[in-house]
Amino acid sequence: MTVGKWALGVGMCLALAAGPALAAQPSEAQVRELMQVMDVPGQFIAMNNKMAAMMSEQLPCVEASFWQTYIDKDGQEQLTKAMIPAYQHHFTADEVEGLIKFYKSSLGQKLVTQMPATMAEAAQAGQQWGRQRTSDMFAQLQKQGKLDAQGRCPGTAGDDSSGDAMPAPQSPAGGTGH
């Protein structure tokens, strides 16, 4: 076997082992099209509205309209450009084309329109579960004598500097879970 054939064989083995790593990276235009059919610009607007409402609450001395410009057209372009490399890193050109095809389908468009409400409901369920789970675990620790009635390690009552105090879990109604 000549050195050339050996090198060619090794190169082919390496190429086969690398597999998807050699697949074509999606172009910026492909990623932009995917982001468009996924309604990423609409998600930016929703993010902007939530952020503006939050900032208006925290800083009532600043006009609410000021925060509405946080993700303006320039900001959307900057954010889009910053996100493109992540898509290029995790997806091949063929995968992006498949995603574009899916998101253009009626099921893909339903996913786009229903996902914000679905995620909000799921987050609310997760928060409720977390409050109940925390309450149950605190009750278990209190029953075992590892926490007192205030959710503190025994012997640390009134000594907030120890760092041992745990906040009492909140019930969905806002009171303690006990």
Residue 20 binned pLDDT confidence (cut-offs 50, 70, 90): low
pLDDT for 11: 60
Distance CA 65, CA 74 (A): 17
Cα-trace Rg, the chain: 27
| Per-residue pLDDT tens digits for 130-177 | 999 999 998 999 999 999 988 899 887 555 544 455 555 554 444 444
What pTM, to 2 d.p., does this model score? 0.65
What pLDDT, on the 0 to 100 scale, is given for residue 178? 45
Q: Give the model confidence (pLDDT) of 87-125 as tens digits.
A: 999 999 999 999 999 999 999 999 999 999 999 999 999
Ramachandran region of residue 72, left (φ > 0), alpha (ψ -120 to 50) or beta?
beta
Return the ∠ at Cα 140 (arms to 137 and 145), rounded to 5°: 125
Q: Among all chains, which residue has been given the structure tokens 């609450």?
A: 57
* 3-state helix, strand and coil shares in percent for the chain, rounded to the nearest 5: 70, 0, 30
Nearest to 96 by CA among 37, 34, 41, 19: 34
Amino acid at 84: I
